[in-house]
Structure formats: C-alpha cells, structure tokens
Structure 1
Amino acid sequence: MKSARPLLGAPLETRQALAQAGGNAVSQARKLLNFCLTLLRQFHQDRCLGVAASLSYTTLLSLVPLLAVMFSVLAAFPVFDTVVEKLQDFIFRNFVPASGEMIQSYFEGFTEQARRLTGPGIFFLVVVALMLMHSIDEAVNDIWRVRTQRSWPAKFVVYWAVLTLGPLLLAVSIAVTSFLVSLPVVSNINGAMEGVRSWTWSLMPFLSTLVALALLYVLVPNRRIRLRHGLGGAVVAALLFELAKHGFTLYVSNVQTYATIYGALAVIPLFLVWIYVSWAVVLLGAELSYCLTLYQERARPGDAHVPLAPLVAAYRIVGHLWRSQQRGETLSEERLMRLEPDLGREGLVPVMEALEREKYVLMVSEGEWVLLRDTGEITLADLYNAMQHTIAGMPGLPGRQDPWNRELLEILHDAEEALNDRLRIPLKQLYQSSETKLKAPT
C-alpha cells in the first residue's frame, strides 16, 4: 500500500499517461497473441507438417543428384578445385548436426559414383534435382495462395539458375573469405583479432541460411512479396533452424534410442528426421512471411470492419478491372486490396479463383489481373451463380421427397428464378450508369 501512495499523489496527467501506457502494452500483447494464433492456424490449415514429410522423402531421393549436379558445375571451373572440399565441409558441418561427418562420407561416395555416369544418367540426375525444386516451388506457392503457376520454360530458367549460380556464389564467398583470412595483414593480427575472426566464421552459417531463406520467400512465389516480409520470415526461420540444430545435436548426444535400435544404421533415420525438422522450420518461416502480409493489410484505421459478401466483392472487383481496362492497364492484387480495404487477401483470393474459374479474369503476370470478357456480356446473375449463391442453400436441402421440403423447394425454386430474372442486367450497364450519375452536376 505504501508503494501506491506516491502514484496516487502524482499529477493527473502522469496517472493518465501511465494508464495509457499500460493499455497500449495490453493491446500490443493481445495483437501479438492473435498474430501467433493466426500463424499456427495457417500452419495447421496448410498441412505444413504433411508437406514437410513429403518434401523430406523427395529430398532424400533428390539430394545426391542435386549435390552431384551442383559440384559438377563447380568442377567445370578449375579455379574452384580447392574450394569444393571446403564447401562440402561447410555444408555438412554447419547444416547437418550430430552425424554430419558420417553423412558427408556417404554422400562423397555417392556423388563420386554419380560423376561417372554417361549422358542419359546425367540427364536423369538433372531431372530428379529439378523435381525437388519443383516440389519446393509448389509448397511455397500454396502457402501464398498462388493458383497461377509460372510457365515451364520460366520455371526451368529459375531452377537452372539456382543449380548453377547457387554453388558458384557459395564457392566465391568461401574463396574470398579464405583469401582475406590468408592475407599477411590479417594473419599477423594478435589474439584479440583472432576472437573476432572466429566469431565471424561462426556467424557464416546463420547468414547463409538467412540469405537463402529470404531469397526463397521473396523470389519463389509467383507474385510480388515485400522484401521486409520475406526477411522477417527468414530471420525467425534462421534463428529457429539454429536452435533446432543445437537441440537435435543435444538429443542425439544424450539419447541413444536410435543407436540402440538401429545400431550402425541409426544415421539414416536420424538424417531423415533432421530433414523433416528442417523443412518444418522452412515452411513455418514461409507462413510467417505470409501472415506478416495479412497483418499489414488488416492493421489499418477502422480495423473492425464487416467483410464484403462474395457477390459484392466480385461486382466491385470486376468494376475496378473494367476501369483499368479502359485505361489499357492491369491491376495487381495489392492495388485491388487498396481499392477495397474491407476485402483483405483472405477475401480476395477465393473471389479471384471463382472469377478465373468462370473465365471472367486472367492473371497475366505476377499478381497482375485483366478482364477476359466484355462486361456487356456478363450479367449480375452470372456473378451471382459464379459465387455459388443459392437461396437458403437449396441444393443442400435434405429429404426432397418429404412433403414439407417439397413444398419449400417449389417456393424457393420460384424465388430463385425470379431473382435470376431480376439480376440479368449487364454489368457494363450498371457501371456506366454509376459513372454517369457520378459525373452529373448535383
């Protein structure tokens, strides 16, 4: 009670400021909790653990071909002969915990055998490596609700760039770092600088993971992703990856269950479990990037809004596309959400899917939409049916032979017909009428 007396005697402005600060803290904590719950809900709804399991098996089958192709690219450049071994050590030491050395020895043998393959065998390796990249591409695009995929030529260019440029960039970074460390100016620095150098090397795996994940989250989805959202997901995923790596190493070192059951073969299930954990972390980071976008779209003044009904949303979206078509422009999803702030991405995606399914709209590039049909040929009834509206859920009404339901169905059917007749108005007529009234002097 004594500690509360100075506060009670404080000026009114001070007490109001403290109360406001406390209220803001509670509000921010509530928002953070809601964000975390949304993230977990999205992670569950997108079946990310199941996708991680699928990617784990695909990775296990594709990892040897992938490494064989990547190291073959480096082998084509004699300047990187001394770097290849360092690159292998860097990958397995820092990204495969516990049994990394044993796994590395296995994979070195596998890749050495793979390099001796002839033309058809090499082609098969490339195809299997591309299959893994295609699976990753589909998983990330599903999280971002992207339904229009890149064309196969565009995909091939992206995948091939990753297979060729990825190892080259890693090799260049390691070569440059090794060169700088070997300089006499750096080598002669005393022990104080040695600690800084050691700390820099220990930070390299985290930075490599961060850059790789940021590129994955920003470049792979077939739509525009803000860099800060991709980086946000990448930072959290990279931190979780480091925690998972240390936790997995601690578990394997102290719990001998797998070694007792499998003996010398324990490295195989352990490696598979680690791949699964890694993919779960990667997909969680992708979901975080997606949720950051959703959060930004919702965090506006007047947040407590009523979502647009699908028919109203479709009518307004087609209207915006009609206006942009008259100007010879396309409309991005971000622009549509700015024009319709009450819609949000969760409301926009199903409406665009329905309009695309009926061939009313088309995505021409990353998130850019255009009209496919003249609005003079599309009626309000068409939109009503495209959004799968029915009066009182008529198609799902049970017991059609029941006398009560039969009478109700007849009335609802007549009402449905009357409503469709009333809605058979071309959209262009409605839009032009609204434009005329808007321009008319009051």
Structure 2
Amino acid sequence: MRIPDLAEINPVSRLHTLIWESQLPKENRPLRAAIFAGRITWVILHDLMAGRANQQAMSLVYTTLLALVPVLAIVFAVLKAFGVQNHVADLMREFLAPLGAQGAEITDRTLAFVEQVNISVLGSVGLVFLIYTLVSTMQKIEKAFNEIWHVRSGRSLARQLTEFVSVGLLGPLALFLAFGIMATAVSSEIVEDAATVLPIKEALQYVGLIMPYLVMVGMFSLLYKVIPHTHVQPGAALLGGLTAGLIWVATGWAFATFVVTSARYAAIYSAFASLVFFMIWLYAAWLILLTGCSVSYYYQNRRHLSPELGVARLTMRDTDRITLAVLVIIHRAFKKGGRLWPAAVLARRLNVPLGVLEEIIYPLHQAGFIAVSEQGGRIMPGRDAAQSDIGEAIETVRRGVQAGALSSMDINSDPAVDGLFTRLDEARQSILKRTATVADLLAEAETLKKEAAE
C-alpha cells in the first residue's frame, strides 16, 4: 500500500501545485486567465501575510489624519471659485457611508473646521504650508506605490509641484464639474421626455445605480496609472481599479454591518467611538487602494511571477548579462541614429520585469554610464562607448543590487575555496582586459555578424 506524500494531503500544497506547476495553455484562454488570476491572488495574499501592505496602510492613516483639514481647505477654496464646493460634503458622506450616523457626524465636523480656514488671511507663509501639506501627502502616496512597483527613484521636486498640485486640485475640480454636467444632462427636457418610455426609464435607473461605482473605478485606475514613477500599462491600471472597486463595495457593506451591530463598542469607547471607527475605515480604505496597486503591478508582470518573491529576481550572473546588454543596446541604437530606448520597451526587448530592469538602470544612471530623460524615461548613453568600462559597470550594479550584504572580508571561508575564487577572479580580469569597454563589445558584435553572413 502506497503512503501518500504530505503534499498530496495538505490542501495548500495541492493548491500550490495546481497554480504554479500547471502549464500555461496557449489556446485555452479562459484556463490561462484562471491560472494567472490564481497566481496573482497567491502573491497578493503572501504580501498581506508578510505585513508590508499593512505597515504602509497604517502609515498613510497617520498622514491622512494630519493632512485632512489642510488638504480639504485648499480643495474647498478652489472648488468654491467654481461654485461646486457643496459636492465636497456629498463626496465625504459617500466615502464615510459605511460608518452610518457617525460618518455623517465626522463629515459635518470636518467641514465646519474647513469652512473656518480662511485662505485669504493666511498670508504667503500659511499658503505655502498648505501647499506643502498637499505635496507631502502626495509624496507619501507616491512612495508607497513606488515601493509596490520596486521603483527606487521618485519624481524631481519640480515635477512633484506641478503634477501633484495638478492632480490634487484639478482632479477633484474635473470630477465635480463632470458630475454637474451629468446632472444637467439628466434633468434636460429631452432626457425627461425619453424617460417616459419604460425601457429607457429602466436603463437610466440602472445607469444611475452603477455610475458611482464606474466613477470610483475610473478614479482608482487613474491613480494607478499616474502616481507610480514608472510606465504602467492602461490594462494593468484598469484591472487594479476594477479589483479595488469591487473590494471597496464588499468591504463597505461588511463594515456598515459591523458598525450597526457593534453597540457594545460604542458603550466601551463612548465619545471616542466615532474616531475609532473612522480610523479603522481609513485603514481599510488605504489597504484596499494598495491592494489594487499590487494587482496592477503583478498583472503587468504576470509572466514573471514567483510564489515566494512575488516577481522573480535575476541571478547575479544574469544581472551581469543584463547590465552589459543594456549598455550595448543603447550605445548601438544611439550610434546608428540617435534612437532612445524607453525603459518599458527595453524591458520587453530583454524579457525581464520592468522593476528588475530599473534596479539595474538606477546605479548605472547614478554612476554616469547612462542618462535618463525626465519625460518618458528614455535611456541614452551617458559616456562614450570607449570610456564605458565593462568591469566598472558590472561592479557598480553589483554594489547597488547587493547593498547591505555582508563583506567578503568578514566571512570565514577555507583556504582551498579562497584560492579557487582568486583564480576565477584572475581569469575574469584577464578576459576583461581583452574586452575592456562597450566599444570592444560592439566591435566583437560586428565581427560575429560578418562571420555569420559569410
């Protein structure tokens, strides 16, 4: 009688085998999509259990509590100039709807504070402080999104001031103006006459029900597309927005049920109950937003997923290969016609995740081997090919990738092993003396191309 393996008994192990060891069928698209969905769900749950998203969400809750009134004051002042400031209250009530009556109380008190802030009498220093609060809040949101996308460099201060202020101020304005246009269109005579027809009336009712959720999904998708300082594909941003929207609706319903049935918590916390529920809902809201961002990241890198690491990493050997490949490709393209490679296109060319490639690009950029344009992230040579030392480039990237690692001088090895690695290093240096620069590699490539043609 055969004794079954532990992996056959453990349901988690069986699920792991089903998701990660199944071949991706090329013809059966529904099965392929189901496998990808299972893998993305697996790595997101792994991240949640590791606690990284939880820490980011708690940090953003603290930031939100500090910045809530100043940010709302700026938004309220801008919207007031266009006569749509009353929509702020409606939006806050919708956001805090799961809190029930306590949400309405928090909305009224917060807006009462906001209305007492008179920006016209604050002076230049006060206005600068309010704008700084808005930008620093967006910076922390960008940092959280960049950590999910494994982006090491953020936007410059000039781009932060222009883009974050635009998103923070013009975004709500555009949203509320859109609501106003929609409300005007719905109340027009043509629509009212058409609504007398039963099918059209029912269709308008369904549109009215799903429109808030479509707007929510659109807002989430826009954030996932714009805020990370990297190239995010529209499909990945949309899927993240859809996922976050669905989780938001389900969590809102569950939290509303919890608030209604938690009278004993109100008795325990007394006057602080509203604040406690508000902080819990803020935490849930940020966790949902970060989860949607993770969905966008993992979907865009779905072909490189790993059950333990989320997105697969490169070995040190392959890191060296990609380092030199990046330098050769951008120098060859620049030499032939000045073509600049966007990082996303280069990642597809090399068949590596964009985040992994950016971990190689960053130290090369810092050391001056390459230059990266501010707009579009296009990569170009930072040095002449004859001045780009291969050994130096490899060591530069290794130091960046291995930052924080133990020094080889601190490790107690064995004389025989140390001797072997010394000979390997000497052989490597001997080879690099013959092919020392990127220009040498380009010349070798041309020779191999001619030999292949012959």
TM-score (norm 1): 0.81
Matches within 5 A, 1:155-234: 155-186=160-191, 189=195, 196-234=203-241
CA distance in 1, matches of 2:398, 2:169: 47
After TM superposition, give the deviation of residue 47 of structure 1 in Å.
Answer: 1.6
Quote the residue 1:432 is aligned against.
443
Is 2:240 the counterpart of 1:237?
no
SS in 1 for 2:398: coil
CA distance in 2, matches of 1:72, 1:200: 31
SS in 2 for 1:362: strand
Matches within 5 A, 1:76-87: 76-77=81-82, 80=83, 83-87=84-88
CA distance in 2, matches of 1:70, 1:312: 49
Matches within 5 A, 1:20-419: 29-41=34-46, 47-77=52-82, 80=83, 83-98=84-99, 99-115=102-118, 117-119=121-123, 120-186=125-191, 189=195, 196-295=203-302, 309-326=318-335, 327-341=337-351, 343-345=352-354, 347-365=356-374, 366-388=376-398, 395-396=407-408, 400=412, 405-406=414-415, 408-410=417-419, 412-419=421-428
After TM superposition, give the deviation of residue 101 of structure 1 in Å.
Answer: 0.8
CA distance in 2, matches of 1:348, 1:46: 25
Alignment CA distance shift 1:102-1:309 (3 Å): same
Q: Does structure 2 retain, via aligned residues, the 8 Å contact 1:399–1:405?
A: no
After TM superposition, give the deviation of residue 279 of structure 1 in Å.
Answer: 0.8
Alignment CA distance shift 1:168-1:349 (3 Å): closer
1:420 corresponds, among 425, 429, 432, to: 429
Structure showing greater radius of gyration is 1
SS in 2 for 1:97: helix
After TM superposition, give the deviation of residue 63 of structure 1 in Å.
Answer: 1.3
Alignment CA distance shift 1:129-1:350 (3 Å): closer
Q: Does structure 2 retain, via aligned residues, the 8 Å contact 1:394–1:412?
A: no
Alignment CA distance shift 1:362-1:261 (3 Å): farther
In structure 2, runs of 5+ residues without a counterpart are 1-24, 306-311
CA distance in 2, matches of 1:87, 1:184: 28
Q: Does structure 1 retain, via aligned residues, the 8 Å contact 2:72–2:114?
A: yes
SS in 2 for 1:369: strand
Quote the residue 1:11 is aligned against.
none
Q: Does structure 2 retain, via aligned residues, the 8 Å contact 1:297–1:344?
A: yes
CA distance in 1, matches of 2:96, 2:81: 25
Q: Does structure 2 retain, via aligned residues, the 8 Å contact 1:333–1:368?
A: yes
CA RMSD of aligned residues (A): 3.2
Q: Does structure 1 retain, via aligned residues, the 8 Å contact 2:134–2:165?
A: no
Deviates further, 196-205 or 122-131: 196-205
Alignment CA distance shift 1:356-1:199 (3 Å): same
CA distance in 1, matches of 2:331, 2:26: 47
In structure 1, runs of 5+ residues without a counterpart are 1-19, 299-303
Residue identity in the other structure for 2:321: V
CA distance in 2, matches of 1:388, 1:114: 52
After TM superposition, give the deviation of residue 381 of structure 1 in Å.
Answer: 2.3
SS in 2 for 1:103: helix
CA distance in 1, matches of 2:139, 2:29: 45
CA distance in 2, matches of 1:271, 1:258: 13
Offset from partner CA, 1:141-184 (integer Å, 9 cap, x none): 22222233222112111122123322322331232233234334
CA distance in 1, matches of 2:396, 2:353: 20
CA distance in 2, matches of 1:413, 1:134: 46
Alignment CA distance shift 1:350-1:151 (3 Å): closer
CA distance in 2, matches of 1:216, 1:394: 39
TM-score (norm 2): 0.79
The number of residues matched between the two structures is 407
Q: Does structure 1 retain, via aligned residues, the 8 Å contact 2:343–2:378?
A: yes
Deviates further, 128-137 or 194-203: 194-203
